[in-house]
Amino acid sequence: MELDPASLPGDVDALRAIVLAQHAEITGQRELIARLRLQLARLRRMQFGRSSERLAGEADQLELALEELEADAPAPAVADNPLAGEGRMGRPERRKPARRPLPDHLPRETVEHGADACACPACGGALRRLGEDVTEVLDYVPGRFRVIRHVRPRWSCRACETITQAPPPSLPIARGRATAGLLAHVLVAKYADHLPLL
């Protein structure tokens, strides 16, 4: 929709109608571009991706699901003020993969860090327990596995509102769940005993 600046009407309502029409046209073009990009990605996957019948079937199912979602989605309503901002078309947030808990049948040993804290390091006031962070790591003692639970209570001072907590235990792999004993067992089994990693 080409407009000549000299031929624009002077009426505010007519200008608003032109802006709304252009906004609706832009929205329609964006939807068309999104559909064409999806189709292009599908065709590229078919041409250059893995050639598997299972993959083609999954792509068809995905396309059907997307078409159903497009059909069920309500038509975008034209806002009173289209120039106020459209919002960024963002990616859906990815969920962080959750770790499975260590098996319940393994014996557990609890180690409490900083449980003897009774005075605030900043002002010397009395501390009260706020909560705790629990870290479970897998350990290997020759002949058996065990789980070591590291409990780190959080303490707060009523006087100065300072929160203190013992530092986390040092592990060979940062944010890992294996102790040095388990890693030593795996390395000896793999490289000295020539056992496969299962």
pLDDT tens digits along 4-16: 777 778 888 888 9
What pLDDT is stored for residue 73 in this prediction? 60
Quick one: 40 exposed, middle or buried, by C-beta within 10 A (0-12, 13-18, 19+)? exposed
Q: Is the pLDDT of residue 86 over 50?
A: no
Q: How far is CA 12 from the centre of its chain?
A: 47
For the segment 60-85, the average pLDDT, to the nearest whole number, is 60
Task: Quickly state the pLDDT bin for 27 (edges 50, 70, 90).
Answer: very high
Query: How does pLDDT run across 150-167, given as a tens digit for each residue?
Result: 999 998 888 888 888 888
User: Helix/strand/coil (H, E, C) string of the chain?
Assistant: CCCCHHHCCCCHHHHHHHHHHHHHHHHHHHHHHHHHHHHHHHHHHHHHCCCCHHHHHHHHHHHHHHHHHHHHCCCCCCCCCHHHCCCCCCCCCCCCCCCCCCCCCCCEEEEECCCCCCECCCCCCEEEEEEEEEEEEEEEECCEEEEEEEEEEEEEECCCCCEEECCCCCCCCCCCCECHHHHHHHHHHHHHCCCCCC
For the segment 122-140, the average pLDDT, to the nearest whole number, is 87
Higher confidence at residue 6 or residue 192? 192
What pLDDT is stored for residue 54 in this prediction? 54
What pLDDT is stored for residue 76 in this prediction? 54
> 53-57, 84-88, 98-102, 112-116: lowest mean pLDDT where?
84-88
Distance CA 3, CA 158 (A): 68
Higher confidence at residue 6 or residue 109? 109
Q: Is the pLDDT of residue 43 over 80?
A: yes
- Domain limits, the chain: 9-82, 108-192
